[in-house]
Amino acid sequence: MVPGTRAPETYSEKAMDTQVRDPLVGSVVDGRYRVERKLARGGMATVYEALDLRLDRIVALKVMHPSLAEDAGFVSRFEREAKSAARLSHPHVVSVFDQGVDGDVVFLAMEYVSGRTVRDVLRSNGPLTSAQALVILEPVLEALEAAHRAGFVHRDVKPENVLISDDGRIKVADFGLARTIASSTSTAATQGMLIGTVAYLSPEQVERGIADARSDVYGAGILLYEMLTGAVPHGGDTPLAVAYQHVNADVPLPSAVRADIPTSVDALVSQATRRDPDERFGSALEFREAAHAVRASLPAATPLSSRDTMVMPSTTAHPSDPGATVALRPLAATPVAAAAGPAPIPPVALATPAPPSRPPAAKKRKRRWKGPLIALVILALAVAGGAGAWWFGTARYVPVPAVVNLTETAATTKLATVDLKLSVSARQFSETVKSGLIISSNPAATAEARKGSAIAVVVSKGPERYEVPQLAGSTVDDAAAALTDVSLKVAGQKKVYDEKVKAGLVVGTDPEEGTALKRNAAVTLLVSRGPKPVDIPKLVGDDGAASIKALKALGLKVTTSEDYSDSIDAGNVVSVDPSSGTTVAKGSTVNVVLSKGPPPVTVPNVVDLDRDLAISKLKAAGLTVKIEEPLNVTPLNRVLKQSPEAGSVVPKGSSVTIQIV
């Protein structure tokens, strides 16, 4: 999705609305732009639909990712390029209205274009017809032409940056921003920012890091190739591998993938994508004039689908001379064999001048030929004609061997046995053909191809799978964005307890990290609720030391105090606070009261009391009584002595001895 377009509602928008609320939605940026909704997220920025409160109009607000906004050098370059781009005004260029910084938000306000990108069209419709592709290409070249006159080089021409509005207008977006990225210092935030667009970089950008108008011509040629075939010409497992092919391999002809593509369209792609900039079209204007002449020779373009109207034609007049000839340089010396026949693809002239008038017929001279001489000449011509017919019609062509399900090496060897070559036209995912094996060939097996020509093959990349990334510790917003970046989507959230991950952050995923899934497979985010709560166990009467150990094992903190108890033995638990059965958060503090045994008793004074009264008073104080009574003494039945003495403090239940006289 390219900034400035309204995307069809997708899983990501629904998920973001219901699962992950974007904090910027609903806010007002720079006191002027009220953010209405999120449109798309790319490698450099997130794009929102916003209302310009000052001018009461809808704009596309492009907000840089925080990692880029922290790079002061990037922000400075971004501001300079945005100001320059704002001066570029053209019907086929997305206008830049404003740029600024609001706190940690670095933004760009652009024209809002309701519609789709060419990438969206290719995904929904597949490859376009030659006429459809050229109808889209011409306004793109017109926009590039205007930019080049103003001193701009786009540097990043690709389907995502070409917009088709709902009313059929073509707009090109992101002028100047590619330069900002390319110029950025090498930091973790900006390294590899152009990885996604390496398929469209010209050889001089890869080799020397320089770009001019001819670099945009190259990018437009790759764009045309992709619109015609549905894939970029150079593939590889890494950006470096793709870049290497731009520098060291010619772009194949689109007709190697689709045999119905005219040779005149092949010639457009070939000349626009020459590795040497001097051999390409000299300007976007030259490319546009050639494209217009080719389109004029084709049947009219049909709508992209039953609900679409065809895009509007370019607003700029083309060369006024309808008979002007636009010459394209010859194609590669070894053309790809086409199903239509063995004839090589000639250089293309897009308009044919009227044939010259026939010269006056010369007077026939009557000559007499002798019969034997005439017969000899006829015989010689017949022999020569037969040999030529055999050579041009049969001897130069061989049946194409079957190469499907072979490796590139095995297929190359097999083709070489019949003097054919291998050309990889595309690498595609396949659920049925293993990675590295050939899915199809053009021409197909048993068809005839000219000796020395190349057989275009599509090589399998294996099943299209994307690994679930490591998301533990991420915020829900960042986790959702990370899944979107690897072509997966958020299925929802599941709250789980976790001892280590803070509440509200992502604990993990279901399926788990590293699982390989199909494109757009749903992944559930496991979100932490913090540590699991703890129930206080029943401990009253239990051994104190063992109870304290059990509470600590549950992740609780323990404080202790002591108290007397008539019913709990010393050292055992009298009570806990919070009480048993209460649920508390892990890490909470629990106070345990331990028994000191029964409370102490002050021994009452029973000396000189009546025997029975003394015994009753001691028992009432919680003491036991031991009696000493001498023999052969006249009984008075009173207490003479007591031990311990009155006023002594003893444990409850202690024994007090009294002597009776």
DSSP state at residue 406: -
Q: Residue 485: what residue type?
A: D
- Give the Cα separation of 244 and 661 in Å (integer): 123
Q: Residue 26: what residue type?
A: G
The distance in angstroms from the start CA to the end CA of the chain is 113
What token pair was written down for 620? Answer: 């009432």
Residue from 56, 71, 102, 156 carrying the catalytic annotation: 156
Report helix, strand and coil shares of the chain as percent, to nearest 5.
Answer: 30, 25, 45
* Residue 254: exposure state from Cβ atoms within 10 A (0-12, 13-18, ≥19): buried
- Give the Cα separation of 120 and 128 in Å (integer): 12
- Give the Cα separation of 290 and 265 in Å (integer): 10
For residue 615, give the 3-state DSSP assignment.
helix
What token pair was written down for 228? Answer: 């015609």
Q: How far is CA 557 from CA 549, 563, 580, 584, 586, in A?
A: 10, 20, 15, 11, 9
Which residues are 68's β-sheet partners? Answer: none
* Closest listed residue to residue 3, CA positions, set 215, 163, 120: 163
Q: Do residues 39 and 47 make contact, with C-beta atoms less than 8 angstroms apart?
A: yes
Reply yes or no on whether 166 is catalytic.
Answer: no
What token pair was written down for 363? Answer: 């007077």
The set of catalytic residues is 156
